[in-house]
Structure 1
């Protein structure tokens, strides 16, 4: 009996260790360089199953690089985040050389957070603020969704098994959100889903960035649809 209990204990420990190794966890990482003076980046880094974590981290890294890139060919050059930070600083140095009389100081800040994590799906939000001149800075929030089992990025239409029904429900919530403020939106009667759809602890989040459906002064438009109303239409929970 003692041998059996001992064997069971060993098996339990082994399986527990394997589960810990495959579970995806996140820690925050600040990224900068020796040259950097104007860029601040704080993003979540996935750890655990190597393949899954690498897929997630690669997608987050690509989104960060894209957020501060000036060179449209940069993605093909496979820049790192550090190289992109230095490129941003170099662009500012060149700007100051060409326009020494300008008092404008450039800046960029990117912050990432885990919106939602389950055994099926992981949602990450990246908030990017940059200012390279103009009347005001530019604030953009991006949602990144991942299959928790593979780490592969998920497109919005992969989140639902019935996009048409989901859109109909979302339209109702959108109309409630902008009720009394319709005049501030571009063609509110022609509803379109936002580029950013993600998950939080209470439901599915829809977010429209500045200029996406309204002028800059209107700001971001965001609302959440409770899971209870969407269970029949969700591919991931």
Structure 2
């Protein structure tokens, strides 16, 4: 982000939070804090933060930016095949470029297999070859190689929508508006049944089975702990 873009971002903040105080040197500070990020991702993060609290702190915006970048990188599902003709330093640099491109959203939610072939090209979203992403788009093409098909919903739980929280295919599950590191059990159950060629269970029936299985697992764990305690007491 440039200094001029930092001024635009603060104008956006002022429109979203009219009561927020913006001083003479605020654009200078925000320009330094947000230098590593683009105006578009910062503006999207401001909207999220401003919808949750009356004032927008840089730390909250940066936390939101990092969370969204981490999610995009996770959804990219990067797999590195490697290139025996590259040195270790070249491979590391290529991997960094792949991760950076995924964080920028240039790759989209998909499974990225980095074959790193010299003749391969990466299909990036329209417009990625222009504006602030021009250099990164070219570097990502050179580093990544090719992208296979989208996630297989019979193997990857995030390849299908979640019936618990309503998360769309290719996105993470959420609880109380916060992104989960794992998927809801019913989403995993649906994936297992799809892989086995079985029809999906009724939502209520599936939830009941999952809860029963969790309760049985907990009871089994408690029994094991009791047995261990008894063995210790006996010795």
What is the TM-score of this pair, normalised by structure 2? 0.26
Return the structure number with greater relative CO, CA threshold 8 A, min gap 6.
Answer: 1
More strand by share: 1
Q: Which has the larger radius of gyration?
A: 2
What is the TM-score of this pair, normalised by structure 1? 0.26
